[in-house]
Amino acid sequence: MTRTKSYARYRALEVLWALRSGRTKKRLAEVSRYDQIVYLTLHSVDTRPSLFCYVNQLNINPSRLEMLIESMKEYGTFADPERVLISGPAKGQGLQFILTFDDGFMSVDRICRRILKKHGIKPIVFINSGCIERGELMASVVSVLEKGKSLEMQCLRVTPKDYHDYVRKLTAKERDLLRNLQGQMMTTKVVRSLVEERLIVLGNHLSNHWNCSSQTALDISESFIECEEYIMRMQGYTLGAFAYPNGQPVTCFNDDCISIIGKCGGKIQFSNTNNCNLRNYGVVESRIAVSPWESQHGIGIKVLREVEAKIGKC
């Protein structure tokens, strides 16, 4: 292909992208008048992420978080999650956003604290209490590094017994290696500081990052209650907000899991998938996962689909 043809193709794609972006912005402006809440989920926000977060695309650059916040402000406002979870979306406010962070990585304090303060945003941080309080390695991190087992199968099938049996065999050096690969988690001191400054509100992500659909009812209940008790000690109250680890329907949770979490006190349960795929899970609220390489237009399309699903256009 000649240079002229290559340039012509590039310009054509550029024009097409601009047209699509323009249509998305127009449709977002149209639906922004609806009183709807859109949840956005992140994990790590760092310039030097851990290997685990990098490989699994769980990290975004701080500048991208700033970009995300600014672009969402074009179509709505960021809501106070405590007020929304207690009273529901405020009437007449139009489209509102809530940021959520899963697992409790230290970057929430070390990097996001400044950004959240700057924009006046309070996120929900769904924590694994055992990883924070006792310094446990995340079950997902341990499971994916066990030799001879695939990433997906181990992440989905590991049980508390499998986890503890494996961890007991690790040497101190191996534990340190895994901890470095995982990335630094918040400590109880840091969690308490963020809560006392009213910069975050805590949500339940189980005591460790167990995949609910592969656990017994007793394991799920004990892990959920342990995390709720930790939240009570840190925050003085709990909103009953729960996010499913790994977050996908069928492979990560099912009707039985929803019932168990509900009976234990999970008043609002969150997944990590678009609302269009959750019509059989009416009590589960969806969240939009923000990927590290996603464009502003790509996030806009996800938000548009989410709002249209909620107002019955999907």
Q: pLDDT tens digits for 86-140?
A: 888 888 889 999 999 999 999 999 999 999 999 999 999 999 999 999 999 888 7
More confident residue, 105 or 252: 105
Encode pLDDT of 173-184 as tens digits: 888 888 888 899
pLDDT of the residue at 8: 55
Asked if residue 26 is part of any domain, the answer here is no
Asked if residue 160 belongs to a domain, the reply is yes
Taking CA 206 as the corner, what is the angle to CA 159 and CA 204, rounded to the nearest 5 degrees?
165
User: What pLDDT is stored for residue 167 in this prediction?
Assistant: 83
Q: Which has the higher per-residue pLDDT, 209 or 151?
A: 209
The pTM of this model reads 0.87
In percent, the amount of the chain with pLDDT more than 90 equals 47
What pLDDT, on the 0 to 100 scale, is given for residue 31?
Answer: 80
Quote the DSSP letter at residue 124.
Answer: E
What is the C-alpha R_g of the chain? 20
In a domain, 228, yes or no: yes
3-state secondary structure 55-78: HCCCEECHHHHHHHHHHHHCCCEE
The predicted structure's pLDDT at residue 151: 41
- Reported as a single tens digit per residue, the pLDDT across 17-56 is 444 567 777 888 888 888 889 999 999 999 999 988 988 8
Query: Does 205 reside within a domain?
Result: yes
1 lies in some domain: no
Task: Tell me what percent of the chain is helix, strand and coil, each rounded to the nearest 5.
Answer: 50, 15, 35
Q: What is the pLDDT of residue 228?
A: 97
CATH of the domain at 112: 3.20.20.370
What pLDDT score does 205 carry? Answer: 97
Structural domain that includes position 204:
32-310
Which ranges constitute the DSSP H helices of 95-168? 107-110, 112-119, 129-133, 139-145, 151-157, 160-168
Over residues 288-301, the mean pLDDT reads: 78
Q: Is the pLDDT of residue 150 over 50?
A: no
Position 111 scores a pLDDT of: 96
Instruction: Report percent pLDDT > 70 for the chain.
Output: 82
- Averaged pLDDT of the chain: 84
List 97's β-bridge partners, or say none: 38, 78
Into how many domains does the chain fold? 1
Residue 61 lies in a domain: yes
Neighbouring-strand partners of residue 21: none
Tokens of 153: 């199968």
Which of 222, 147, 141, 202 has the alpha carbon at shortest distance from 177? 141
Lowest-confidence region among 63-72, 247-256, 258-267, 279-288: 279-288
Q: Which residue has the tokens 């406002």?
A: 77
Torsion-angle region of residue 3: left (phi > 0), alpha (psi -120 to 50) or beta? Answer: alpha
Q: How many CA atoms lie within 13 A of 8 on its CB side?
A: 5
Whether residue 109 is contained in a domain is answered as yes
